[in-house]
């Protein structure tokens, strides 16, 4: 499908043409360690891509997420090696507007070392954390339900890390089920 670049209106095979991709979307991996001990690797500073992440519940959202995932998660997976299979576990990958933004990210991690699994870590609480305070997030836990194997290695996948409460809660649930979380991958860190 031929699209128009959102920056320059040139025709492109992607929502962002090749020249703008290198100008605006070169990922730079950063790491933050949450208070629970989980290392969170993020590809972008949130303020650099916030307008694209905010499209996740629109018609073009899946196109932006696919573009950002290929530009970051796919490149990461090509260079990732581990002695055994690691599972990419998207957080709360239920459908919204006909797709799951975290499932799109996890799908791009598929490689000889990484196998995505879906529908395995779901929140029972469906409240939106967007633009909410830390107190609100702590008072309204996600109450995750994990339904996959124990004694495996996983990479947690989410789109944004802000306070880290969602990732911390998911990490705690997985640890209680004897799942070894190597680290988390997110598109963006909102604290950078």
Whose tokens are 């950002």? That residue is: 68
Q: What is the mean pLDDT of the segment spanning 31-53?
A: 91
pLDDT at 67 over 70: yes
Q: CA-to-CA distance for 178 and 21, rounded, in angstroms?
A: 40
In the prediction, which pLDDT does 129 show? 65
Positions of E strands within the chain: 3-4, 11-12, 30-33, 39-45, 86-90, 114-116, 121-123, 144-146, 153-161, 180-189
3-state secondary structure of 30: strand
Task: Report residue 140's pLDDT band, with 50, 70 and 90 as the boundaries.
Answer: confident
Task: Report residue 138's pLDDT band, with 50, 70 and 90 as the boundaries.
Answer: confident
pLDDT at 22 over 70: no
Of residues 162, 169, 154, 185, the one with CA closest to residue 46: 162
146 forms beta bridges with: 121
In contact, 82 and 111? CB cutoff 8 Å: no
Q: Which comes out higher in pLDDT, residue 21 or 50?
A: 50
- With pLDDT > 70 as the criterion, what percentage of the chain qualifies? 79
Q: CA-to-CA distance for 88 and 69, rounded, in angstroms?
A: 13
Q: What is the CATH number of domain 26-189?
A: 3.40.50
Q: CA-to-CA distance for 5 and 113, rounded, in angstroms?
A: 33
Q: CA-to-CA distance for 81 and 117, rounded, in angstroms?
A: 18
DSSP annotation of 11: E
Q: Which comes out higher in pLDDT, residue 158 or 57?
A: 158
Q: What is the mean pLDDT of the segment spanning 79-99?
A: 83
Q: What is the mean pLDDT of the segment spanning 159-188?
A: 95
Q: Which comes out higher in pLDDT, residue 98 or 138?
A: 138
In contact, 179 and 70? CB cutoff 8 Å: no
Mean pLDDT of the chain: 85
In the prediction, which pLDDT does 161 show? 94
User: What's the token pair of residue 153?
Assistant: 């290695």
In the prediction, which pLDDT does 19 show? 67
Q: What is the mean pLDDT of the segment spanning 28-34?
A: 95
Of residues 192, 162, 177, 191, the one with CA closest to residue 89: 177
């Amino acid at each position: 499908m031929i699209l128009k670049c959102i920056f320059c209106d040139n025709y492109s095979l992607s929502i962002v043409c090749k020249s703008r991709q290198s100008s605006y979307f070169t990922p730079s991996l950063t790491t933050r360690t949450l208070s629970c001990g989980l290392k969170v690797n993020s590809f972008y500073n949130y303020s650099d891509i916030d307008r694209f992440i905010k499209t996740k519940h629109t018609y073009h959202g899946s196109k932006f997420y696919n573009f950002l995932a290929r530009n970051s998660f796919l490149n990461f997976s090509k260079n990732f090696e581990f002695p055994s299979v690691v599972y990419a576990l998207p957080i709360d990958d239920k459908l919204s507007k006909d797709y799951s933004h975290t499932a799109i990210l996890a799908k791009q991690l598929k490689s000889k070392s990484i196998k995505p699994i879906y529908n395995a870590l779901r929140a029972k609480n469906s409240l939106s954390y967007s633009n909410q305070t830390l107190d609100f997030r702590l008072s309204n836990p996600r109450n995750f339900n994990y339904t996959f194997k124990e004694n495996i290695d996983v990479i947690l996948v989410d789109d944004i890390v802000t306070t880290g409460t969602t990732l911390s809660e998911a990490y705690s649930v997985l640890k209680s089920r004897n799942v070894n979380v190597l680290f988390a991958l997110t598109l963006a860190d909102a604290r950078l």
